[in-house]
Amino acid sequence: MDPVRAFERHATGFRSRLRPALRIAFWAAFLLGVVVAGALGRRGTLEARAGALGLLVAVILAFLGRALHERHSLRRHDRLVRRLVLREDPVLGGKVLRALELSERAQADPAIGSAELVALHLERAVGRIPETLVTQRAERDARRFRLAALAMAVVGLAGLAFEPARTIEGLDVLAARRGPYRALLLKQQLPEPMPEAA
């Protein structure tokens, strides 16, 4: 098989198996961010509102940045090999990396050797990468994201269940245009604690 197509197939297979776990992790992180943002927004100050909004933006940018970085990394054949093959099988990964390096050198300097032989060597090296190796790597990464998502979801749901009214109140303050004044109004509407009996 053509090495370029083989690399594309491995990259596509890796992303397709990892994408569902990443999607779950994103929504779990966003849920946790919303709960924390509600707690911060309830203070009503400009700094608290900025921090709450910054937290939600940071969650979105973190996952977006990771997706862009991974897409860029998997486009480079050498980075793909280091990411998916070298960590799982150092011997095979080293052979593929050397074949890639030899191919690049042969393209730059014809004196290195026959381009056909170098291309055949690269094709054989890439052809030795088993599909199961990439699958196992993707499943291991997906498992870590699912565990992280479970932890974030548990913390977020616990915070939401503990004081849901306060979380909603904080989000309401966060969405209000006059956050500090809205916060003071909401706090004034809260019932005063009953005095303890003597």
Residue from 53, 43, 42 nearest 169 by CA = 42
Token pair for 106: 């042969």
Q: State residue 154's pLDDT score.
A: 95
Averaged pLDDT for residues 160-173: 78
Residue 183 vs residue 64, higher pLDDT: 64
What's the predicted TM-score (pTM) here? Answer: 0.73
> What average pLDDT score do residues 98-118 get?
81
**pLDDT tens sequence across 133-165:** 999 999 999 999 999 999 999 999 998 888 777
Question: What's 73's DSSP letter?
Answer: H
170 compared with 59, residue with greater pLDDT: 59
pLDDT of residue 1: 66
Backbone angles phi, psi at 128, to 5 degrees: -80, -10
- Can you tell me the distance from the alpha carbon of 192 to that of 125, in angstroms, rounded to the nearest whole number? 74
Q: What is the pLDDT of residue 98?
A: 92
The C-alpha atoms of residue 142 and residue 84 are separated, in whole angstroms, by 13
2 vs 151, residue with greater confidence = 151
Share of the chain above pLDDT 90, in %: 32
> Three-state DSSP class for 191?
coil
pLDDT of 194 > 60? The answer is no
Give yes or no for residue 182 having a pLDDT over 60.
no
Domain ranges for the chain, please list them: 3-87+160-188
